[in-house]
Amino acid sequence: MADRRPTALVTGCAGFLGSHLAEALLGLGWNVAGVDSFSDYYPRSLKERNVARLRGTTRFELRELDLAEHELAGLLDGVDFVFHLAAQPGVRGSFGAGLDTYLARNVHATQRLLALATRADLKAFVYASSSSIYGDQPRYPVTEDAAPAPVSPYGATKVMTEQLAGAYWRAHGVPVVGLRYFTVYGPRQRPDMAFSRFVACALARRPIPVLGDGRQVREFTFVHDVVAATMAAAEHGERGGVYNIGGGEPVSVLESIALLESIVGHPLLIQFGPAGRGDPRLTHADVSRAQRDLGFEARTGLLDGLTRQVLAEDDEIEEAVA
């Protein structure tokens, strides 16, 4: 009997990371069942543009549904691997009344999918966590054993997601693997994220808005490196475990803007504003566990990755004008 192609469910498949992952899996000959709710967090047209790249193959099927509310029966039929990337993103929107949305889309949706997974024959259930669970830590680079100390409700929902996944692993043997992503960037990045805003302003020769003094440090991780780590986690990740996935080059926001200035070739004006709520001062990952188990290496340096993001954004502007 011929080998059956692996089938993956990718939640959040029309988003930034999800669309890149779905493309990579299709490129390997996999079947991909995509799920996305097309929430109103940012314009639907951007997600439609992402998913348009996937619709050209018969090995991709898209279902538009909300994991927190809609009927999920049959969603995992024939699925070998789950890549659960769908979530309500963003830190500042999680304070106050917005928390209900984060609890529904990050916690309740994950719980419902995990419950469904108890009745499926999965090889792996890989889910997205975040560096936001760490908050401000006493020691860096931070290891996976550090106690969570989120400084935003968004980060707290990611801690809850990890705890839920661990509970379903221990109680039902759902083969979960968690990935704590550190500031993913690259082409198709969400429009609310810093590099997306910086690049758009730089290309339009508008002032670049910076929250706080710009000396906060981030570990930026290129999207293709994150995709490679995510696929490796499905095959090699320790079930019930979690991994830091970081780019290995912590830089300050001001340093990243100076790098962007060298890429676009003209001076950039910075417009400073109040510091954002829920932002840690520093993120820096110890990725030795991912190196050991997943063979993970961040292969894309910040100059190369940011240049690729600038070129992609510039191409999209030219297409829109043409």
Q: How many CB atoms lie within 10 A of CB 46?
A: 16
DSSP state of 132: G
Supply the DSSP symbol for 2: P
Q: Which of 102, 127, 134, 154 is catalytic?
A: 154
Which residues face 211 on adjacent strands?
273
Residue 179 C-beta-side C-alpha neighbours within 13 Å: 33
- For residues 243 and 132, is the Cβ–Cβ distance under 8 A? no
Q: In whole angstroms, what is the distance from residue 37 CA to residue 52 CA?
A: 15
User: DSSP secondary structure string, 282-296?
Assistant: B--B--HHHHHHH--
The contacts of residue 186 (CB under 8 Å, 6+ apart) are 16, 20, 222, 223, 224, 305, 308, 309, 312
> Quick check: is 181 catalytic?
no
Q: Could you give the 3-state DSSP secondary structure of residue 254?
A: helix
272 φ/ψ angles, rounded to the nearest 5 degrees: -80, 145
Our measurement of the distance from residue 11's CA atom to the centroid of its chain's CA atoms, rounded to an integer in Å, reads 11
What's the alpha-carbon Rg for the chain, to the nearest Å?
19
Peptide bond into 141 cis (omega under 30): yes
Of 10, 253, 266, nearest in space to 124 by CA:
10
Q: Encoding tokens for residue 204?
A: 């339009």
- State the pairing for strand pair 217-219/208-211: unpaired
Active site residues: 154
